[in-house]
Amino acid sequence: MKLTILGATGSIGVSTLDVVSQHPERFEIVALSGHSRIDLLAAQCAKFRPKFAVVGDAFSAEKLQTQLRRDSIPTEVLYGPAALEHISSLPEVNAVMAAIVGAAGLAPSLAAARAGKRVLLANKEALVMAGSVFMDEIKKSGAVLLPIDSEHNAVFQAMPDDYAGSPMARGIKRVVLTASGGPFRNRALSELVDVTPEQAIAHPNWAMGKKISVDSATMMNKGLEVIEAHWLFDVPAAQIEVVIHPQSVVHSMVDYVDGSVIAQLGNPDMRTPIAQALAWPQRISSGVASLDLCAIGRLDFEPLDLTRFPCVALAYRALIEGNNRATVLNAANEIAVAAFLERRLSFLDISAVISATLDTVAATSADNLPAILEADRMARVIAETECRRRQK
């Protein structure tokens, strides 16, 4: 299988290359992309010898190309959004790992879908911002869509093998997404006023990037996953439930009308869903240790408190209201999280900024990419204004 990896220097990209390196006879890397970690991308090019490497701008491209020439590595360096779309639709590529974080990953993910690739989707925004458009492209091209998020990959594994939508027709009562609760699950709300970025990114179970770690702390990641689950599995909001599961061992469940609940369990390591999607419908080793339930001893579950985690309630609101609401939600969250990481916004104000932006940006149709991108742009302007108004 010949692969393009979008976001190769991020946590998902690094884990993907780790799995690939264990199976050199099965996989060939055709193209890699990275953003700011040029030295790491150069090292990846040296090891996997891709045909193309893509970076964000001309300066980074020149820096990377100089390093590769010095080491006699023949990889061709490209840069910019068009280059990302190019490597996502190369004729020789069979599968694209879409792991660019944020709205920047939308266009290349869509390009992979249009080209009929096996799309290994780790980029939440493709479905949150443009669920209808993205799924239409998947259906029109005949692309294969495989979810990489541990929760959606778990649901995928617990669904009937030939599931193609219509949950009630297949006896599916509800989808249950599990959530660790993040680093502040047991903290009093009064103690969250002065939370620092360092505290917010210290996830108890998973090693992730800063933005995703903050989303876990606010639980917005789970809200975005509710929206993703709706589009991936054609399940309405009322049939998607979130429960707190601190151990992060049960990654999600499907509840059937006959009383059966089918769950996928495993150690909290993203190499498991990556390996599952890379090899599907077969199975390959991921390098992840087998689960030892006796060592774990117990599995705990508790209901989600929407008062404590208002970002989840905002995501349900956006999904139910439809139109451009999820695009606005996602854009506002990106701006608010960035402001928090820059110490311009308090942790508790993240949800307030998102709510204010949803209230301000008009609800309009989101059935085409220009309309989606305009809603995204407008939401970012409003959210940034709101961040400045609340600046610490």
Give pLDDT tens digits for 316-358. Answer: 999 999 999 999 999 999 999 999 999 999 999 999 999 999 9
Please report the pLDDT score of residue 362 as a whole number.
94
CA distances to 32, 148, 211, 223, 244 from 316, in Å: 35, 22, 21, 7, 17
Please report the pLDDT score of residue 278 as a whole number.
98
Q: What is the pLDDT of residues 215-242, one digit of tens each?
A: 989 999 999 999 999 999 999 999 999 9
The residues, any chain, with a CB within 8 Å of residue 74's CB and separated by 6 or more, are 49, 68
Calpha distance 96→31 (Å, rounded): 9
- When the pLDDT of each residue in the chain is averaged and rounded to a whole number, the result is 94
| Chain region(s) in the chain for CATH 1.10.1740.10 | 322-389
Residue 25: CB atoms within 10 Å: 5
Please report the pLDDT score of residue 75 as a whole number.
97
Confidence of residue 207 (pLDDT cuts 50, 70, 90): low
* Relative orientation angle of helices 38-48 and 58-70, to the nearest 10 degrees: 40
Structural contact between residues 251 and 152, judged by C-beta atoms closer than 8 angstroms: no
CA distances to 56, 166, 283 from 162, in Å: 39, 12, 17
pLDDT at 151 over 90: yes
pLDDT at 186 over 90: no
* Both structure tokens of 107: 């266009």
Structural contact between residues 259 and 210, judged by C-beta atoms closer than 8 angstroms: no
Confidence of residue 375 (pLDDT cuts 50, 70, 90): very high
Q: What is the pLDDT of residues 253-306, one digit of tens each?
A: 999 999 999 999 999 999 999 999 999 999 999 999 999 999 999 999 999 988
pLDDT at 124 over 90: no
Structural contact between residues 390 and 345, judged by C-beta atoms closer than 8 angstroms: yes
Please report the pLDDT score of residue 205 as a whole number.
59
- For 240, the 3-state DSSP assignment is strand
Domain 2-147 has CATH 3.40.50.720: yes
Please report the pLDDT score of residue 319 as a whole number.
97
Calpha distance 146→97 (Å, rounded): 10
Q: What is the mean pLDDT of residues 149-176?
A: 93
- For 382, the 3-state DSSP assignment is helix
Structural contact between residues 110 and 80, judged by C-beta atoms closer than 8 angstroms: no
Q: Helix, strand, coil: what percent of the chain each, to 5?
A: 50, 15, 35
Q: What is the pLDDT of residues 61-118, one digit of tens each?
A: 999 999 999 999 999 999 999 999 999 999 999 999 999 987 789 999 999 999 999 9
Q: One-letter amino acid identity for 295?
A: A
CATH topology of domain 322-389: Rna Polymerase Sigma Factor; Chain: A (1.10.1740)
pLDDT at 243 over 80: yes
Q: One-letter amino acid identity for 218?
A: T
- For 5, the 3-state DSSP assignment is strand
pLDDT at 208 over 70: no
pLDDT at 386 over 70: yes
With vertex at residue 290, the alpha carbon angle to CA 285 and CA 296, rounded to the nearest 5 degrees, is 155
Burial environment of residue 186 by CB neighbours within 10 A (0 to 12, 13 to 18, 19 or more): exposed
| Chain region(s) in the chain for CATH 3.40.50.720 | 2-147
**Radius of gyration, CA atoms only, the chain:** 20
Calpha distance 282→370 (Å, rounded): 38
* Both structure tokens of 328: 């606005």
For residue 93, the Cα-to-chain-centroid distance in whole angstroms is 22
Q: One-letter amino acid identity for 206?
A: W
Adjacent-strand bridge partners of 32:
5, 53
Q: What is the mean pLDDT of residues 142-161?
A: 96
- For 137, the 3-state DSSP assignment is helix
With vertex at residue 101, the alpha carbon angle to CA 96 and CA 105, rounded to the nearest 5 degrees, is 55
pLDDT at 22 over 80: yes
Q: What is the pTM assigned to this prediction?
A: 0.91
pLDDT at 206 over 80: no
Calpha distance 71→289 (Å, rounded): 36
